[in-house]
Structure 1
Amino acid sequence: MNDHYLKKLDRVTAILTQLQSKPIVRAQDLAQKFDVSVRTIYRDVKTLENAGIPIVGEAGSGYSLMEGYKLPPVMFTKEEVLSFITAEKLMQKFSHQSLGNHYQTAMEKVRSVLKYSDRNLIQNIEKQIDIFQYHAATEDTIKDVLPTILESIGEKRQLTIEYKTVDEKISTRTIEAVGVFFEFNYWYIMAFCTLRNDFRQFRIDRILKISKTQNPFLGEYGQINDYRKTGNGNKTVVRLLVEKKIMGFLVNSKKYYGLTKEADTENGMVELTFETESIKDGFPRWLITFADFATILEPESLKIQLNDLLSQIASKHQ
Structure 2
Amino acid sequence: MSVLIVSPGRDPENWVKALENQHPGLNIYVYPEEHDPEEVEFALTWNHPRGLFKNYPNLKVIASMGAGVDHILSDEGLPEDVRVTRVIDETLTEDMGDFVLSQVMNHIRGLHYYAKVQQKKKWDQFQYKRPQNTKVGIMGLGVLGNAVAEKLNKNFFKVYAWSRTEKSCSNVTCYHGKDQLEEFLQNSEVLVCLLPLTEDTENILNSDLFDMLPEGAYIINVARGQHLVEHDLMKMIDSGHLSGASLDVFREEPLPEDHPFWEHSKINITPHIASVTKPESVVPQIVDNYERMKENEPLKNKVELEKGY
Note whether the superposition's TM-score is higher than 0.5.
no
> As a proportion of its length, which structure holds more helix?
1
Tell which has more relative contact order, 1 or 2 (C-alpha 8 A, sep 6+).
2
**Higher strand proportion:** 1
Whose radius of gyration is greater, 1 or 2?
Answer: 1
